[in-house]
Chain A
Amino acid sequence: MFTWRKLGRVFDPRDVKGRPWLREFAQAPATLIFDDHVRVYFSTRPPPNPDGQYVSYSGFVDLNRNDLFDILRVSERPILELGGLGTFDEFGIYPVSVARSGGEVVAYYGGWTRCESVPFNVAIGCAVSRDGGETFERRGPGPVLGYSPDEPFVLSGPKVRRYGDRWRLWYIAGRKWKVVNGRPEPVYKIRMASSEDGVRWERSHRDLIQSRLEADEAQASPDVFAHGGRYHMFFCYRYSAGFRSKERGYRIGYASSEDLERWARDDSKAGIDVSDEGWDSEMISYPHVFELDGQIYLLYLGNGVGREGFGLAVLEGTLR
């Protein structure tokens, strides 16, 4: 079992002033490391419209590399405007994952649209930054990874990595819309695709992580980290119904792999859980692992899937 020592909450979006697009939520943290700071991308929301519906924007905070609790800067603008009328990302850009490629930073993101019979649909978009990750431009107006016969809807939660000369993308794919108390709730599973150029993706066409809670367990945030000659995946999972409660909400799971294809799930090793009280006492989700100056850190969300920001934990011992 790993031992993560919680260091506390790093960022609370409610503390930020003067940014109308950033009011509540700092979801799905993803890092990009610079010489003197760590940029953490996250997704946030302005207040909902009169119908109670949200849009999501993505931005970043820069943290002092020598003190990750020292916030140097909050991005003035979203890194990408919402998509045009009728496009897949018209109503949200959430979450975002980035990787460097030459002098560029390439972002993969979930683009949200609104539907009539179900509340939303999501597909994965791609955008490129030529200014070090401050602003991004879409590779095209449509998704880079869209729906296919065995991945019919809700393609989201992209996490991009580059190992050797291959691009890897872990993501979630919707399996069914389950009607719970008259409300459609999506069930999704963790999947993977690989690519030579980051644009044309070959999918592996199978669920990577065995379900544990129930057949309809929903899995999200497949965050892969290479260390010690193995691949480690931290992710989150929840029940398909009643998951807005403490008992059935998101928890962090763990799996490992030697070859990126076959994954052995062992949640008992995850080593991090909800706290007894406070901002992460009901729910813990959207893990992101990164290494910095000889330490391994984990960013995560607490209650309300990040409504009150994200926190940081540090690994005690080694990841094996």
Chain B
Amino acid sequence: MRWTKIGKIFDPTEHRLPNNCVQFAQSPQALVFADFVRIYFSTREVDRSNGKYLSHVAFIDVQKDFSRIIRVSERTVIELGKLGCFDEHGIFPMNIVRSESRIYGYTCGWSRRVSVSVETAIGLAISEDDGLTFQRIGDGPVLGASLHEPFLVGDPFVRIQGDLWQMWYIFGTSWERLIPGQPPDRVYKIGYASSRDGIAWQTGEGRQIISDRLKTDESQALPTVIKIGDRWHMYFCYRESSDFRKNPDRGYRLGYAYSDDAKDWTRDDGRAGIDRSLQGWDSEMLCYPHVFACDAQVYMLYNGNEFGRHGFGLAILE
């Protein structure tokens, strides 16, 4: 695979965003329309009660040549969850899937914990207005912690093929105090689930589908899958599970795997065809990839340094 970077296409600090959001445009996700592309992302508001963040979903509409932003969402795309619900403190990311007249938003909802910082689970919301707003199907998640996937279920990427709904996502395998005196760090892996209705999901019950590359405690996040010809391609990001925020040697970069049956995957990061830049906004970290097709081209949206604090960029598959 060979990608040519077009560069950063959106900087959140240059626009006015809803919900008092000022920085971060994380985990961009595309929805292609006839004459423009809508790109959803998660951005952050500071929670005035304690200084922590709340993640909200927003979008931009861009011209199909990605040269010009023609709209920035003015209103709330999806409300955060109610008191005590799984998505009370943030939605990050929201994966968008079109099916006939409906647009589905699979959310990764965040809620804060006491002994560890956070728990996540996957929710479902539906849009009846071409993706301007989404209403959740219920207050709880469609996929959360279960017997062999005990916490941190999130990062959904859903694909609908006839009556088969496929989901690649992540689940937590451990919370550990990896660095003495620091808060617990988490480890998570990529899994696969399937469904006939998009609501009831059968998971792999803790089966990790992408092998580790790092020697210890590799965390894998945000799988994105595209089928080109007969071959399935997956991009994701991975990192060390501790000291990954500020140490560029341990932070996120992109991984790659391929499959001929969408079940058994061969990891081969050497073929990813995209890496950090030598300098600039994506020189230290590369994360949260989203691969999509638009008018016979394949594109990748991605974040750079600081988990997308400074916006997202675009690359095109040669």
Chain-A contact segment, one of B106-114, B212-220, B267-275, B281-289: B106-114
Which of A85, A139, A199 touches B184 (beta carbons < 8 Å)? A85
Which of B114, B123, B144 touches A116 (beta carbons < 8 Å)? B114
Least Cβ distance of A92 to chain B in Å?
Answer: 12
Query: In chain A, residues 285-299, which have Cβ atoms closer than 8 Å to a Cβ of chain B?
Result: none
Query: In chain B, residues 67-89, which have Cβ atoms closer than 8 Å to a Cβ of chain A?
Result: 82-86, 88-89
Bound form: Cα–Cα A144–B121 in Å: 15
Query: In chain B, residues 141-196, which have Cβ atoms closer than 8 Å to a Cβ of chain A?
Result: 141-142, 144-152, 172, 174-177, 184, 186
Tell me the interface secondary structure of chain A in the complex.
Answer: loop
* A181 located at the interface, meaning its Cβ lies under 8 Å from any Cβ of chain B in the complex: no
Which of A84, A142, A148, A154 touches B147 (beta carbons < 8 Å)? A142
Q: A114-B114, A148-B141 are in contact. Are A86 and B172 (CB under 8 A)?
A: yes
Bound form: Cα–Cα A176–B147 in Å: 25
Bound form: Cα–Cα A179–B150 in Å: 29
* A149 located at the interface, meaning its Cβ lies under 8 Å from any Cβ of chain B in the complex: yes
A-B contact count (CB 8 A): 128
A142 pairs with B83, CB closer than 8 A: no
| Pairs across A and B, CB under 8 Å, 5 listed | A87-B151, A117-B84, A143-B146, A148-B142, A152-B138
Can you add 14 more A-B contacts, CB < 8 Å, to A86-B174, A117-B88, A140-B150?
A85-B177, A91-B115, A114-B113, A116-B89, A123-B145, A140-B146, A141-B148, A142-B149, A142-B151, A149-B136, A149-B138, A150-B140, A153-B86, A186-B84
Residues of B within 8 A of A117 (CB): 83-84, 88-89, 111-112
Which of B113, B145, B174, B175 touches A146 (beta carbons < 8 Å)? B145
Residues of A within 8 A of B9 (CB): none
Q: Which residue of B lies closest to A84 (CB)?
A: B175
* B6 located at the interface, meaning its Cβ lies under 8 Å from any Cβ of chain A in the complex: no
Residues of A within 8 A of B176 (CB): 85
Residues of B within 8 A of A123 (CB): 145
List the 9 closest A-B pairs by CB distance, nearest first: A149-B138, A152-B140, A86-B175, A142-B150, A140-B147, A116-B112, A114-B114, A152-B139, A141-B150
Which B residues contact A (CB, under 8 angstroms)? 82-86, 88-89, 111-116, 119, 121, 123-124, 136-142, 144-152, 172, 174-177, 184, 186, 199, 206
Tell me the interface secondary structure of chain B in the complex.
Answer: loop
* A177 located at the interface, meaning its Cβ lies under 8 Å from any Cβ of chain B in the complex: yes
B84 pairs with A146, CB closer than 8 A: no
Bound form: Cα–Cα A147–B122 in Å: 10
Which of A86, A91, A153 touches B186 (beta carbons < 8 Å)? A86
A147 pairs with B121, CB closer than 8 A: yes
* A184 located at the interface, meaning its Cβ lies under 8 Å from any Cβ of chain B in the complex: yes
Of A115, A139, A142, A174, most buried by chain B (CB within 10 Å of CB) is A142
Q: Which residue of A lies closest to B81 (CB)?
A: A152
A86 pairs with B151, CB closer than 8 A: yes
Residues of B within 8 A of A113 (CB): 113-115, 119
Least Cβ distance of A25 to chain B in Å?
Answer: 21
Least Cβ distance of B82 to chain A in Å?
Answer: 7
A153 pairs with B147, CB closer than 8 A: no
Q: A114-B115, A115-B112 are in contact. Are A147 and B86 (CB under 8 A)?
A: yes
Q: Which residue of B lies closest to A126 (CB)?
A: B147
Residues of B within 8 A of A186 (CB): 84
* A118 located at the interface, meaning its Cβ lies under 8 Å from any Cβ of chain B in the complex: yes
Which of B89, B115, B138, B146 touches A142 (beta carbons < 8 Å)? B146
Bound form: Cα–Cα A91–B174 in Å: 17
Least Cβ distance of B111 to chain A in Å?
Answer: 7
Least Cβ distance of B110 to chain A in Å?
Answer: 11
Q: Which residue of B lies closest to A90 (CB)?
A: B115
Least Cβ distance of A112 to chain B in Å?
Answer: 11
Residues of A within 8 A of B115 (CB): 85-86, 90-91, 113-114
Residues of B within 8 A of A91 (CB): 115
Bound form: Cα–Cα A296–B139 in Å: 41
B147 pairs with A139, CB closer than 8 A: yes
* A88 located at the interface, meaning its Cβ lies under 8 Å from any Cβ of chain B in the complex: yes
Q: Which residue of A lies closest to B114 (CB)?
A: A114
Residues of A within 8 A of B116 (CB): 85-86
